[in-house]
Copies of this chain bind each other. A is one copy, B any other.
Amino acid sequence: MKPATPTDAAESSKILKGKWRRRGVGILDFILRVVAFAAILAATIAMGTTDETLPLFTQFFQFEAKYSDLPALTFFVIANGIAGSYLLLSVLVSIFNILRGHAAITKVVLILFDTVMVALVTAGASAAAAIVYLAHEGNSSANWFAICQQFGSFCQQTSGALVGSFIGALVLILLVVLSAFTLYRRNPPLNSKI
């Protein structure tokens, strides 16, 4: 049997280091996906359960506020619901990848879906933010009145949901960049031209 040379030892240490780096990146990917999932699930539930009825009623105003009364908030719930389901699925993929390793093309597919989800979550959150802002501030030019004086709890709950959703979008952006960086480090001729 040939004894191990220093070169062999250096080589195997390099391979081991690479393996642990990949596993570390895999675990980071998993943690980020869990965080994004939790934030978006919380946002969906917070928005989906808004329903405030005031013990008053006049001829001109309906004193009930619910997310489904406003199309932008309904879209928020749908968009975050889709993104949450996707993230749950991708958490499972992430676990599988940590345990088994995966083909590099998986990262390209994840970048595609993660980027679409960035757009979907941001779209839902921003559309809802525009409406929640209007509910808080009103708009004198369009003669739209603020409704948050009446519906304080509704406005608080929707604002909280927005925060969760924007955190989810931010974490999704980090996931895209992490995947891109993993692809970049895959075969390390670091200064290679492409």
Contact = CB atoms under 8 A, between A and B. Distances in A.
Contacts of A65: 141-142
Interface stretch (A7-15, A87-95, A169-177): A169-177
A186 B192 contact: yes
A143 interface: yes
A127 B182 CA distance: 33
Contacts of A101: 193-194
Most interface-central of A22, A65, A101, A139 (chain B CB within 10 A): A139
A130 B180 contact: no
- Give the interface size class of chain A: 35 or more
A129 interface: yes
Contact of A142 (B104, B122, B128, B135): B135
Given A70-B141, A111-B180, A130-B130, A194 B116 contact: no
Interface string A65-87: 11001111000000000000000
Interface in A18-35: 22
B187 A187 contact: yes
B194 A182 contact: yes
A8 B107 CA distance: 34
**Would you list the 9 A-B pairs with minimal beta carbon distance, nearest first?**
A69-B141, A187-B187, A127-B130, A126-B126, A101-B193, A123-B126, A72-B130, A130-B130, A111-B180
